[in-house]
Amino acid sequence: MKLELGYIDIRDIQFSAQSKVENGVLYVNADELKALVLEDESVRITPVKDVIEPLVKVEGDGGIFPGMIAKVDTVGSGKTHVLRGSAIVTAGRIVGFQEGIIDMTGPGADYTPFSKLNNLVMVCEPIDGLKQPEYEKAVRLAGFKVATVVGELGRNVIPNETKVFETPSVTEGLKLYPELPRVAYVQMLQSQGLLHDTYVYGVDAKRTLSTIIMPTELMDGAIVSGNCVSACDKNTTYHHLNNPVVHDLFDQHGKTLNFVGVIITNENVYLADKQRSSDWTAKLAEWLGLDGVVISQEGFGNPDTDLIMNCKKIEMKGVKTVIITDEYAGQDGKSQSLADADPLATAVVTGGNANEVIVLPKMDKVIGTLEFVDKIAGGHDGSLAEDGTITAEIQVITGATNELGFNRLSAR
Catalytic residue numbers read 228
Q: Across the strands, what pairs with 165?
A: 3
Side-chain-side CA neighbours of 53 within 13 Å: the count stands at 28
* Residue 274: partners with Cβ closer than 8 Å, 6 or more residues away: 267, 268, 305, 306, 309
User: Identity (one letter) of the amino acid at 321?
Assistant: T
| Interatomic CA distance for residues 152 and 147, integer angstroms | 8
| Interatomic CA distance for residues 1 and 62, integer angstroms | 14
Other CB atoms within a 10 A radius of the CB of residue 74 amount to 16
Beta strands 211-213; 390-393: pairing state? unpaired
User: Identity (one letter) of the amino acid at 135?
Assistant: Y
Kindly give the interhelix angle for 271-287 and 302-316, rounded to the nearest 10 degrees: 30
Are the C-beta atoms of 370 and 100 separated by less than 8 Å?
no
Are the C-beta atoms of 258 and 249 separated by less than 8 Å?
no
| Interatomic CA distance for residues 183 and 343, integer angstroms | 22
Q: Across the strands, what pairs with 161?
A: 7
Closest among 214, 221, 247 to 57, alpha carbons compared: 221
| Interatomic CA distance for residues 114 and 92, integer angstroms | 17
Are the C-beta atoms of 345 and 312 separated by less than 8 Å?
yes
